Amino acid sequence: MAVIANRIMTVINGVILPIELWQQMESLEARLRKASSGSAMQQMLVNALNIIADKLSKNLVSKTNNSERKKTLVLEKSNKDINYHKMALENHISSLQTEVLDTKHSVAKRCLNNFLKEASLRKRKFKMHNELLTWIGKYDQEMISMEEEIDKIKVANIRQQSKIEKITHRISEVKEKYEAIMVERGKKLDAIRIKESNVRHFAAIKIQKIFRGKTFSTTRSNKHYMLTSLS
């Protein structure tokens, strides 16, 4: 019974039992529980259960074979799919690797160009820096020279300003003297003009007197001549 039960459990656990065999097994198990131990009925029921178990085993083998075939087909299909996807993945990886190599090459080329540009810019910067330092040095020297020249000019201007102030002061003194002289001269000229005016006035009066006297004498002579002629 234990062997039969194990075979039945193996069958039950392995596959779905057909309904008819399942019903027959239940009926036989019920009758087996009722049969007397060691009786012909019990042996017959055991044989019937063995037959059913054999059928179930064959069914299980058939289903197992079908399952294996399906499994094989599924595995083959899966392997094909896997190989297809694997090939596609490998192609994609190869494409990515090519792209990575191209990118690395492009990046390396760009890095080289950037390095060359940076080196050129550094060289240019260094040159400009040196030129700037040279220009600053020249500028400082020129500024020092110009400051010295400005200092000299300032000193000369101070001297010139001192001379100008002295000359201005001298001119002011001379101007004051000149103005005093001109005032005095003006006074003298005014006196001379007044004197000359007086002289001319007196001369005019005298001339008028002389002219009037001469005119009066001439008039008297003319009157006397006319009276003499009429007589």
Is residue 143 pLDDT above 70, yes or no?
A: yes
Nearest to 55 by CA among 29, 20, 3: 20
Give residues with Cβ within 8 angstroms of 11, minimum separation 6. 17, 53, 56, 57, 59, 60
CB 45 within 8 A of CB 24: no
What pLDDT does residue 1 have?
41
What pLDDT does residue 23 have?
65
Provide mean pLDDT across the span 79-99.
84
- The one-letter code for the residue type at 10 is T
CB 11 within 8 A of CB 53: yes
Torsion of CA 45, 47, 51, 53, to 10 degrees: 80
The lowest-confidence range among 67-76, 185-194, 221-230 is 221-230
59 exposure class (CB count in 10 Å sphere: 0-12, 13-18, 19+): middle
The lowest-confidence range among 58-62, 94-98, 189-193 is 58-62
Considering only residues 122 and 36, tell me which one the structure prediction assigns the higher pLDDT: 122
Residues listed for the chain: 231
Provide mean pLDDT across the span 148-165.
86
Rounded CA separation 25/48 (Å)? 9
